[in-house]
Chains A and B, each alone.
Chain A
Amino acid sequence: MKFYLLLLPMILSVSLYGQAEKGNVQFELVFGGQPVEIGKNYYLPSARDSIRLETIRFYISHIQFFDDDRLMGSLKKSHILLDTENPESLHFSMPEGVSGNFNRIRFLLGTDSLANVSGAMGGDLDPIQGMYWAWQSGYINIKIEGVSSVCPARNHLFQFHIGGYQPPFASSQIVDLPVSASQQIVIRADLEAFFSQVNLSETYQIMSPGGQAVKYAKLFGSVFSVTQ
């Protein structure tokens, strides 16, 4: 770790330079119109119930910027763990050479299959992040946990641990969003849209790869949009 001290001046100058030049992508998690806060209650009209969210963490990978079908640039870091409780994790700079010349952003919601079979990795992919299954190899791509009174589980807790990389239950989803080029892109995920399609009195625990996991991954993948 101390080795990186040597690189610090270099990193600092690059990032200061970068901030002036590069655009920024921000992820915004909302429930209806309100920003999501962990531990806060949200009213869900479709279920006539309120939901308290405890955890929303998910991987995105292979973030690419396209002009129609032409790839203009991709983020160097292959995997990012987004965590509602860590605002720093929710934004990143656009890659080199991407500025005003794209009309689509595409990313994989979840980890790629290679990450799931390549052994121990560090940083966002370190198993200490709590996003790796111990009993069966593979990353948890999306972790959504919370409390709802309609949920029959112990303490009314619902837990969606969504992952799986092997066909037919590969759960990572391509999200492809039209966007008008700008220095500031906000990608919004609306949790109300997710929960209004989920019946928490019936399905409240998904903790292994399978058909349910794929269904819920698709559902979560469908609630992303770009606001400008």
Chain B
Amino acid sequence: MKIRLLYLCFFTLACLAFSGETGFELEYPDYFPAPVYDFGKNPLSPEKVRLGRVLFYDPVLSRDGTISCASCHSPYNGFAHTDHDLSHGIDDQIGTRNAPALFNLAWQKSFMWDGAINHLDMQALAPISHPAEMGEAIAHVVSKLQKTERYPGLFYVAFADSVVTGEYILKALAQFQLTLVSANSKYDEVKRGNTTFSEQEENGYRLFLQNCNSCHREPLFSSFDFANNGLPLDTTLNDLGKWQITHQREDSLRFKIPSLRNLTYTYPYMHDGRFRRLSQVINHYTSGIQISETLAGELKKPISLTNDEKTDLIAFLLTLNDTRFVFDPNHQFPKEILLPSEGFQN
């Protein structure tokens, strides 16, 4: 009995110790707006972020253990899938859209190219359940993780509860993704007064502010709103974007506006990955716009740029590459946990 009491006391203390002492706040520059993610409902802790990181890289989330989140969201590609126009999934299937880059997610109020997902917590459910992505069911993921040696302990350390639940999985995955903050590009260094743009970059910045900034708004380089940017419909996909979710006429061909950070690492571009080079993207905006009922107002008047101006604009866009983010070891495969047999220490 005494031992049991001691045991209970220990648990009480342990639980008190877990109640918020280890929490931390997301770091971001003072020129960023306030995040939209509600951290009050899912306060960050290093243990939850670590669990989320392990889950992100573990193919156990897929039906046959072949596909992890990182399969299509690779850290070295700004968490996009470089060189693949459409996403790849289980059983060598190919999806219908380009895997988007993952960073600065705490500032985004909806997810997917069509905005189907309304909260970062719920985002992971879509690829886990999709028959052409991971082909699994969240309830089955819970029972698989519960049976492992690795996970009940990681959940206990993170949530003071060794019982795996869907809520914990989703919250942990969200926490890891929330820490993917890209704010260390040359642009950011210029913003902070630590360096200056070259003359060419400066001119590109001016052109950017004139022609691009209303949708790709700095400093996140997106308003994260939805727009029809005048791409001709690819009739092999017939993707009408946000219309497929809302069935409202005004949403036809509207897609989520992506951030322009880390473009070197995240090609190909657009929701269907149709453009491999930035020059193709710029040429689309100057001479490829297809007029339609829902075309963004900003694009109704053609953008006109000389060849030199196009080069300058691209020079500026390349200052948005954030090498420190892309190669940040804190975001990479957690080999000390997922490959302990190779002798990596925690």
Residues of A within 8 A of B (CB): 1-3, 5-6, 116-122, 126-130, 132, 134-138, 166, 210
Q: Is the CB of B171 within 8 A of A135?
A: no
Q: Which of A5, A135, A137 contacts B130 (CB 8 A)?
A: A135
Q: Is the CB of A1 within 8 A of B170?
A: no
- The A interface, classified by DSSP as helix, strand, loop or mixed, is loop
Q: A126-B165, A127-B170, A137-B117 are in contact. Are A120 and B129 (CB under 8 A)?
A: no
Give Cα distance in the complex from A138 to B116, angstroms.
Answer: 10
Q: Is the CB of B118 within 8 A of A126?
A: no
Q: Does B142 lie at the interface of the complex (its beta carbon under 8 Å from any beta carbon of A)?
A: yes
Shortest CB–CB separation between residue B283 and chain A, in angstroms? Answer: 34
Given contacts A2-B11, A122-B165, A135-B129, 11 further A-B contacts (CB under 8 A): A2-B161, A2-B162, A3-B161, A116-B118, A119-B121, A120-B170, A120-B171, A126-B165, A126-B166, A134-B138, A166-B246
Q: Does B233 lie at the interface of the complex (its beta carbon under 8 Å from any beta carbon of A)?
A: no
Q: A127-B138, A134-B130 are in contact. Are A119 and B41 (CB under 8 A)?
A: yes
Q: Is the CB of A128 within 8 A of B118?
A: no
Q: A122-B165, A122-B167, A127-B166 are in contact. Are A136 and B120 (CB under 8 A)?
A: no
Q: Is the CB of A6 within 8 A of B8?
A: yes
Rank and list the top 8 A-B pairs by shortest CB-CB distance, nearest first.
Answer: A119-B121, A134-B129, A120-B170, A128-B166, A120-B121, A122-B167, A137-B118, A128-B139
Q: Which of A1, A122, A134 contacts B128 (CB 8 A)?
A: A134
Chain B residues with CB under 8 A of A120? 42, 119, 121-122, 166-167, 170-171, 174
What would be 17 A-B contacts, judged by CB atoms less than 8 Å apart? A3-B160, A120-B42, A120-B121, A120-B171, A121-B167, A122-B166, A122-B168, A127-B125, A127-B138, A127-B166, A128-B138, A132-B125, A134-B126, A135-B130, A137-B116, A137-B117, A166-B246
Give Cα distance in the complex from A120 to B161, angstroms.
Answer: 16
Number of A-B contacts (CB under 8 A): 86
Residues of B within 8 A of A (CB): 8, 11-12, 15, 38, 41-42, 116-122, 125-126, 128-130, 137-139, 142, 160-163, 165-168, 170-171, 174, 245-247
Q: A132-B125, A210-B247 are in contact. Are A6 and B119 (CB under 8 A)?
A: no
Q: Is the CB of B139 within 8 A of A130?
A: yes
Give Cα distance in the complex from A135 to B116, angstroms.
Answer: 7
Chain A residues with CB under 8 A of B170? 119-120, 127
Give Cα distance in the complex from A136 to B139, angstroms.
Answer: 18
Shortest CB–CB separation between residue B39 and chain A, in angstroms? Answer: 11
Shortest CB–CB separation between residue A160 and chain B, in angstroms? Answer: 19
Chain B residues with CB under 8 A of A126? 165-167
Q: Is the CB of A119 within 8 A of B125?
A: no
Shortest CB–CB separation between residue A16 and chain B, in angstroms? Answer: 22
Closest B residue to A135 using CB positions: B126
Closest A residue to B114 using CB positions: A136
Q: Is the CB of A119 within 8 A of B129?
A: no
Q: Is the CB of A1 within 8 A of B162?
A: yes
Chain B residues with CB under 8 A of A129? 139
Closest A residue to B38 using CB positions: A119
Chain B residues with CB under 8 A of A116? 118
Shortest CB–CB separation between residue B128 and chain A, in angstroms? Answer: 7
Q: Is the CB of B129 within 8 A of A128?
A: no
Q: Is the CB of B174 within 8 A of A136?
A: no
Give Cα distance in the complex from A116 to B122, angstroms.
Answer: 10
B120, B138, B174: residue with the most chain A Cβ atoms closer than 10 Å: B138
Chain A residues with CB under 8 A of B138? 127-128, 134
Q: A3-B160, A119-B122, A210-B247 are in contact. Are A136 and B167 (CB under 8 A)?
A: no
Give Cα distance in the complex from A103 to B213, angstroms.
Answer: 60
Give Cα distance in the complex from A18 to B12, angstroms.
Answer: 27
Chain A residues with CB under 8 A of B137? 130
Q: Is the CB of B41 within 8 A of A118?
A: yes
Give Cα distance in the complex from A122 to B11, angstroms.
Answer: 22
Shortest CB–CB separation between residue B293 and chain A, in angstroms? Answer: 21
